[in-house]
Structure 1
Amino acid sequence: MDCLRAETYVLDLLHQLPPDLRYHGRHHTLDVVAAAQALAAAEGITDPEQLTLLRTAAHYHDAGFLSTYRGHEAAGCALARTVLPGFGYSAAQIELICRLIMATEMPQAPGPEPLARILCDADLDYLGRPDYWPISQTLRTELASHGQPYDAAAWLRLQQEFLTTHRYWTRTAATQREPQKQARLAEVRAELAQLTAP
């Protein structure tokens, strides 16, 4: 497995993502890679092959946006199945990578697979971070450019629902991110109350 070449290949491709992907840009992929590595270390994942496959899945998890907006996870898997054999990945390794990618589809469903749980938590790591607000605004802008505009109140209601129903899958994310996520939820509720007050 030549993971560095596989990663470089897809990161180069991600420069071609449409500029209206203000949230799902190359920067998001790099953020998810970093979060996945940190979570894997904290969760005690030490097997080199497992760590490599997680890294590869993180690099490819949103590559499907190169060809489609809806169903991008399946498109990312199709890309992985096409290019990863050329970098020395076996069929079984590629299928695991695709399972990890598909686990990030909304609503997330990682099942019991530890690597899938890590990737799902890494994908939404920002929900429990101080940069939640600016990142959520890039998502709002992106959705508007794809025919889903939200006014301020509708956006806050959507955020309230998402933050309320979202769960972290790993012990580490639940410990490190859940308290801050609850703080963001309280901020959303306060803003919504102020905005909709008579």
Structure 2
Amino acid sequence: MDCLRAETYVLEQLRAHLPATLYYHGLHHTLDVVQQAGAIAAAEGVTNPTDLALLRTAAHYHDSGFLTTYQGHEAAGCELVRRTLPGMGYTKAQVDQICALIMATQFPQRPGSSHLAQILCDADLDYLGRPDFEPISRTLYDELRARHLVTDEDAWNRIQVDFLRAHRYWTPTAQRLRAPAKQARLLMLEALV
């Protein structure tokens, strides 16, 4: 596995070709997910170098499907993974595992019993329980408005309430560090709607 080459490739693609209206799902989000996945994995005691490499690669590629589509971007990301990673030394089994991790992030998230998938899912939506929730949430609102998927702030608040109600953190680390603040935000938003 040439992880550095795989990461460099996808970051170059994201930098050069992501639509400018991906205010939330931009390169900054991918880099945040990579960082959070590493932090959660460390807190969860994941030390196997192969597992960490696969998790890191999946985090880098988890939203790469936005290069070609908005709806169904997880499957499109897996197409990119299957097309590019074998040429970078990834085995079929490793590619399959990376794709399984990416597909687990599709909402509603379905990581099953895979610890790595649980970590990636929690990293992907880590912001829901962080102090920077408001500005990050605003970028998602702007992105959805640009695509005419939300009409106004009242509709957005209802979407957020439904989303926060349906979401759960999977790892003990995220449940401890992020779930309480997420729950407080949900109560605040419920009071608005």
Please give the range of the TM-score, normalised by the shorter of the 2 chains. Answer: over 0.9
- 1:84-118 C-alpha deviation (Å, 9 max, x unpaired): 01111001000000000000011101100000000
- 1:146-183 C-alpha deviation (Å, 9 max, x unpaired): 12123121111111111122100111100000011112
1:118–1:170 Cα contact (<8 Å) kept: yes
Partner SS state of residue 112, structure 1:
coil
CA distance in 2, matches of 1:150, 1:123: 25
**Amino acid aligned to 1:39:** I
1:7–1:56 Cα contact (<8 Å) kept: yes
Alignment correspondent of 1:71: 72
**Amino acid aligned to 2:170:** W
**Amino acid aligned to 1:71:** G
CA distance in 1, matches of 2:177, 2:68: 35
Deviation at 1:186, TM superposition (A): 2.4
Deviation at 1:185, TM superposition (A): 1.4
Instruction: Give me the TM-score of the superposition, normalised by structure 2.
Output: 0.97
Matches for 1:139-150 after TM superposition, within 5 Å: 139-150=140-151
**Amino acid aligned to 1:102:** M
Matches for 1:172-191 after TM superposition, within 5 Å: 172-190=173-191
Structure 1 unmatched runs, 5+? 194-198
- Runs of 4+, deviation exceeding 6 Å: none
Q: Is residue 9 of structure 2 the alignment partner of residue 9 of structure 1?
A: yes
CA distance in 2, matches of 1:150, 1:183: 25
1:140–1:150 Cα contact (<8 Å) kept: no
Alignment correspondent of 1:108: 109
Alignment correspondent of 2:59: 58
CA distance in 2, matches of 1:152, 1:2: 44
CA distance in 2, matches of 1:5, 1:17: 19
Alignment correspondent of 1:196: none
**Amino acid aligned to 1:88:** G
- 1:41-92 C-alpha deviation (Å, 9 max, x unpaired): 1111100000000000000000000001111001100000111011110010
- 1:106-155 C-alpha deviation (Å, 9 max, x unpaired): 11011000000000000000000011111111111111111212312111
1:54–1:97 Cα contact (<8 Å) kept: yes
Alignment correspondent of 1:85: 86
**Amino acid aligned to 2:91:** S
Instruction: Give me the TM-score of the superposition, normalised by structure 1.
Output: 0.94
Matches for 1:160-175 after TM superposition, within 5 Å: 160-175=161-176
CA distance in 1, matches of 2:55, 2:152: 37
CA distance in 2, matches of 1:51, 1:87: 17
Count of residue pairs the alignment pairs up: 192
- 1:12-62 C-alpha deviation (Å, 9 max, x unpaired): 000110000000000000000000000101111100000000000000000
Q: Is residue 119 of structure 2 the alignment partner of residue 118 of structure 1?
A: yes
CA distance in 2, matches of 1:21, 1:149: 15
